[in-house]
Chain A
Amino acid sequence: MVIEENGSQPATSRGPLEGIRVIEWGSLVSAPFCGKVLGELGADVIKIEAPGTGDEARQRGPFPDNTPHPERSGLYLFANLNKRGISLDPHTGEGHRLLQELLSTADVFLENLPLDTVEDLGLEYHTLAQDYPGLVATSISPYGRTGPYRAYKGTDLTANAMSGLSFGTGHPHREPLTTPLHQASYLAGVGAAFATVVALLSRDLGGRGQSVDVAEAQVIGTLLTGYHLPTYIYRGVAGFRSGNRMRLGLFPNCVLPCKDGYICIDAPQMEQYRRFLDLLGEQEWMEDPRYRDRRAMSDQYPEEAESLIAPWFMQHTKQEVLDACLQNRIPCVPVRTFDETLRDPQLNSRDYFRSLDRPDTMRLTYPGAPYRFSRTGARLVRPAPTLGQHNREVFCDELGLSADALLNLEQAGIV
């Protein structure tokens, strides 16, 4: 993943966030993925899990052979790369004291806890700020930590619902579709990582720590669906679903079946469309004025318009479509399934995927870090921790507990 800089020096550090310590107490996707991203950039991320059960993600699949096992959850393994793991119950007196000790060594406290846990344990920012004025306290939740719904329960489904993205996705006569694979939580995790690093920069330049409040619904509701607001205000269009085609665009902008799967075409520029028509070869309908108004074709009679180009795709495979469209500079590609993406020549020529060994599972291949830094690296090096894997390292070697004290805590179920 490290690019040598024109043959000069190699990367100089573990990553641009080397020296930053993050204490992560979270479950499932949003906070863990934020921790994974910060870890990939070089931060030392210590993940707190409940003794015995661990992160709820450990109960979720996918599992090898569909057999549940807390050390084999694909969701857990992916969202917790590049961090160390400890088990600790901060609901106990001694556990709470150890959490405080950890926080006193930390730059960032990262959580996606239920609001009542935050309040019960005094983990709100205004309380933390008194003891740890330099701490950046990053909170990720479905709807955010302020506002009338702050105590509402939520999941990725309900965050997507509030975000406006679900309403527009799917067929007009069917139920709206949420984003697949907890995407609202992942996106909020990356956004929270950005806001957290900005807060660290601000602190480093003479400021104090601060709170970072990230709502999954609001990240999408601003950056992704916020651009629909003018269409509503000026045109009164509150939203609608348009199935397999992008709304308010120019034909062709849709997903269609081909011989062995699906393709996606999105060719807004006239010259792209002309090259596509050339590829199809001369046909009678191309002369009809009804099929020259690309806006009307997209908005008013898209099914009819799509039926004109659909036969060509049905005669060709994904690979044939890709080859022809790449050669003719037409934005049209196969819709890859995940086995295909894993073998994708583009990603693999760039050495994108990373394979890691870990006890309890076979060797697994993960998508890599999406940044290539010429100097500081950003690497996937550490598989997700087993439950409590780094207890001794963190509690004894770093916080100075004796081996006996750790054993006592373990027997009491605190660690």
Chain B
Amino acid sequence: MMDYSNGGNEGPSLPLDRYRVVDFGTAWAGPMAGQLLADLGAQVIKVESKERMDGLRLGRPIVGDDLAGGDRGLWPELQPVFHGINRNKLGITLNLKSEDGLDLVRQLLAQSDVALNNYSPGVLERLGLDYPELRKIRPDIILVSMPALGETGPLRDVLAYAPIIQALSGLMSLVGYSEEEQLVGELQAPWSDVVAAIHASLAAVAALRHRNLTGEGQFIEVAQLEATTSMLGEAFLDYQMTGRIPTPRGNFDTAYVPHNNYPCADADRWVAISVKDNADWAAFVLAMDNPEWCEEDRFSDLRARLENVEELDAHVSAWTRQHTALQITEMLQNVGVAAMPVMNIEDQFLDPHLQEREAYLEVEHPHVGVEWLYGMPWLLGATPGGIRAPAPLMGQHNQEILGDLVGLSQDRMEQFSANQVIY
């Protein structure tokens, strides 16, 4: 172990700044893995082309239909969702359907530490960029592939977006109010993409540590379905231990009661309340100003409260409806009971706690102007990283990467542009 007692050298404020990553990702899962590395300083080079543009550049315009810029060809530069997931990256445009484009990307990979992709199974092989080939170019490269269901297996060709993966993992079968009602299923966020992205970036930095110690690179496969399923062990054990197939139970939890999102004074405003044990319950009752119903036998202990949870929730709702979510939160937190408003994005954006932790940050984009993006998900005390640059425009860094780094002359650059290799 190193000796840090006399302080050593201060590390860089961007802890990953000596690593170069080539990001072949498209849409969510792949590009977000690149983003997590770029946020902490890695030089992440996003490879696109007009032949194969990142799908997120083509989504529904949010900046306003009138501003969608279709006529001026600007639409692909006006997608705020793309700007979030691709901030801090450099962008180059190489047509990988051309031999010259593939040759240039190989030259770039020869100077890179990590390559990331979420291609469908078989695409890397078709491009000649699979691990055995990459190793010839760069023996210690770390290649991370994020296929949806895996590179192998009978269902590997299922076309999969996040909800499809959530459906196959089992997670979706638990999103709902009760077994009797029609399943809700959908979480309103690309859950599986984000789960896979974090696992993939974790695998990449762990492999970098191994490479730094041994000089060995490697190939890592992170199937999005397996990443999603890896966080659901409780339900698999439940089934094996009890023989009961887990079903949706709303916000019910056997260890807490009350435990729900309760309605507040204004329309569609809710507060989450989570009461754990008898001490919590006593504090909760006190905060409600000792209503008579709390003295009834059917609410006398945890077991009784669990058995009569519907009646209990009705009583609690009658109280919460008289106040705002913030008022309830303060009343309960003052006596040490877990509570929090059920926030929408407006609440999150305006929340003083999330503001102090810089959950949302202003970024200047050349075509959109000032734009708000989500900030860092985790705070590293000495090397925090952050947003240093907006998402790249199509081909914005071709000169910097293909000219200066790969070493193409101006003539060659122009020739490749004319031939739709740099495209």
Contacts and interface: CB of A to CB of B under 8 A. Distances in A.
B418 interface: no
B173 A168 contact: no
Interface residues of A, number: 173
Contacts of B347: 164, 238
B227 A207 contact: no
A134 B2 CA distance: 8
A364 B225 contact: no
Interface string B328-358: 0000010011111111111111011110110
Interface in B245-279: 245-248, 250-251, 253-256, 259-263, 268, 270-274, 276
Chain A CB within 10 Å — which of B60, B189, B239 has the most?
B189
B159 A272 contact: yes
Interface residues of B, number: 164
Interface string B272-314: 1110100000000000000000000000000000000000000
Contact of B170 (A33, A59, A207, A336): A336
Given A208-B10, A223-B194, A74 B188 contact: no
A262 B185 contact: yes
B376 interface: yes
A283 interface: no
Given A153-B333, A334-B167, A244 B183 contact: yes
Contacts, number: 553
B127 interface: no
Interface in B213-247: 213-214, 216-223, 225-227, 229-242, 245-247
A153 to B, nearest CB: 4
B380 A177 contact: no
Contacts of A51: none
A331 B205 CA distance: 32
A337 B236 CA distance: 10
A274 interface: no
B343 A161 contact: yes
Given A194-B201, A197-B205, A157 B272 contact: yes
B195 interface: yes
Contacts of A341: 168-170, 229, 236
Contact of B236 (A16, A232, A342): A342
B62 A161 contact: no
A180 B376 contact: no
B44 interface: no
A366 interface: yes
Contact of A197 (B156, B202, B376): B202
Given A157-B274, A181-B234, A197-B205, 17 more contacts: A146-B357, A180-B174, A187-B194, A194-B36, A194-B201, A197-B202, A206-B11, A211-B381, A239-B344, A262-B185, A333-B167, A338-B236, A338-B238, A341-B170, A349-B154, A371-B220, A375-B218
Complex A-B, nearest 7 residue pairs according to Cβ-Cβ distance, in ascending order: A207-B11, A226-B374, A255-B185, A239-B344, A74-B237, A168-B188, A78-B233
